[in-house]
Amino acid sequence: MPEVQIEIGTRVFSVACQDGEEQFLHAAAKMLDTEASVVLGQIGRMPPDRMLLMAGLMLADKTAALEDDLRELQDKIATQDRALRSAEERLADRGRKIADLQEAGASGSTAPAEVPEALSAGFADLAARAEAMAEAMEAATRNEAS
């Protein structure tokens, strides 16, 4: 088991680690040293155990904030996944409806397509107006002829 020398807050520590984990230990020590430097810059000289405690607490606070951010992002992703699945389902339904209509048209089906009620009402109103205009024109033509 190799022993690695790390420096945290101007102090050198010997730490044992598993073979191949030296680079991870150095990376973790660098993070802790960064926080220790902040503590020492604000407070000044202090005992190693207190410096390590303060630096560790600062790293724990940063880690907790990152975990909160991660949970928030995971929630957003889950919401977007649900919205995407819903949109895909609606798209698939529309695709099936289009395929059914195309199939009905290709098979020579003479079944009338379903017309929305609002459109039917609009056509009925338009037909009534056209009939009223035709009657008015016929009446005007009869009056001129008499």
pLDDT in tens, 77-136: 999 999 999 999 999 988 888 888 888 877 765 555 666 787 778 788 888 888 888 888
Q: Average pLDDT of the chain?
A: 88
> 121 in helix, strand or coil?
helix
Asked whether residue 48 is domain-assigned, the answer is yes
Asked whether residue 19 is domain-assigned, the answer is yes
Asked whether residue 121 is domain-assigned, the answer is no
Domain total of the chain: 1
> 39 in helix, strand or coil?
helix
Asked whether residue 46 is domain-assigned, the answer is yes
pLDDT band at 75 (very low <50, low <70, confident <90, very high): very high
Report pLDDT for 50.
94
Asked whether residue 52 is domain-assigned, the answer is yes
Q: Is the pTM of this model over 0.75?
A: no
Q: Which two tokens stand for residue 48?
A: 């190693």
Asked whether residue 144 is domain-assigned, the answer is no
Asked whether residue 143 is domain-assigned, the answer is no
Asked whether residue 86 is domain-assigned, the answer is yes
Domain ranges, residue 60: 3-104
Report pLDDT for 68.
97
